[in-house]
Amino acid sequence: DAKTTQPPSMDCAEGRAANLPCNHSTISGNEYVYWYRQIHSQGPQYIIHGLKNNETNEMASLIITEDRKSSTLILPHATLRDTAVYYCIARGSSNTGKLIFGQGTTLQVKP
């Protein structure tokens, strides 16, 4: 699976949009971009994933560049409960593909 690179930390004001970038310049054509987050001392929580097109769900939006070498996770209205470590993972399309976690981005949402 392709390596991903994320900034180690980011701050965001409560109520504002949080934009978390991820670089995956070596991603292959069949690899999806997945985002998970981990709130302190809990298991990771699935957020969203995509292949080529932008995706949106009730939690977030995922914007993938046309060349697929980078993506951005957008939390439209960050709350204090969104403070967590966010992981961007490139995962192959095999049915039981394992997830390899990098260091992620620690997002601190501030009042």
Partner 1 sequence: GAVVSQHPSRVICKSGTSVKIECRSLDFQATTMFWYRQFPKQSLMLMATSNEGSKATYEQGVEKDKFLINHASLTLSTLTVTSAHPEDSSFYICSAVSGAKGNEQFFGPGTRLTVL
Residues at the contact surface with partner 1, assessed by CB under 8 A: 36, 38, 41-46, 87, 95-104
- Minimum CB separation of residue 87 from partner 1 in Å reads 7
CB nearer partner 1, residue 29 or residue 42: 42
CB nearer partner 1, residue 14 or residue 59: 59
CB nearer partner 1, residue 27 or residue 36: 36
SS3 label, residue 111 = coil
d(CA 98, CA 67): 24
Phi-psi sector, 51: left (phi>0), alpha (psi -120 to 50), beta? alpha
- Minimum CB separation of residue 61 from partner 1 in Å reads 18
**What residues contact 13, with CB distance under 8 A and at least 6 apart?**
78, 109, 110
- Minimum CB separation of residue 67 from partner 1 in Å reads 25
